[in-house]
Amino acid sequence: MMSTTMAKAQTSRKWYVLDATDVPLGRLAVKAAVLLRGKHKPDFTPNVDCGDHVIVVNAAKAVLTGNKLRNKKYYHHTGWIGNMKVVSASDMMKNNPEKAMTLAIKGMLPDTVLGRTQLRRLRVYAGADHSHAAQKPEVSPF
């Protein structure tokens, strides 16, 4: 009988850069979520935070396929009665592409303390410049 190995909490994490230029928003979000969770590692354990840091650059150049730019809406509620806010995907990509990318990745992480911790290791930039050169980020493995 084989025993299952359980990973310990990891101390060293790698840094990866993902370029969103001409890539569908959801496809890039999947890759970022896999890296943040650590599912690309052979010792992945669902209840242990073994993911890496992810830097997404050129978020403003990500693509929404189909009619999503026209039809997709982002909703949030302020907490006050009748204050449901609606922003279209075209406005979101024009004014705040970092938030659109972050929301797509956040939806692919677990809704737990673990998922919120993993989301803190995500950095999204609208342009090509980022301030994490000292961490020596690598290009994504896939």
User: Residue 82 is encoded by which pair of tokens?
Assistant: 């009748």
Reported pTM: 0.92
Per-residue pLDDT band at 69 (split at 50, 70, 90): very high
pLDDT, position 141: 81
R_g (Cα) of the chain, nearest Å: 17
Main-chain dihedrals φ then ψ at residue 123, nearest 5 degrees: -125, 125
CA distance 99 to 126: 10
pLDDT digits 0-9 by tens, 99-120: 999 999 999 999 999 999 999 9
CA distance 51 to 30: 14
Query: 71-75, 93-97, 138-142: which has the minimum mean pLDDT?
Result: 138-142
pLDDT, position 79: 97
CA distance 102 to 71: 19
User: Which residues, including other chains, have CB under 8 Å from residue 36's CB and lie 6 or more apart?
Assistant: 51, 52, 54, 105, 109, 118, 119, 121, 122
pLDDT, position 12: 80
Per-residue pLDDT band at 43 (split at 50, 70, 90): confident
pLDDT, position 94: 96
- Mean pLDDT for the stretch of residues 116-125: 97
Domains delineated in the chain: 15-65+93-139 (3.90.1180.10)
pLDDT, position 4: 75
Percent of the chain with pLDDT over 70: 98
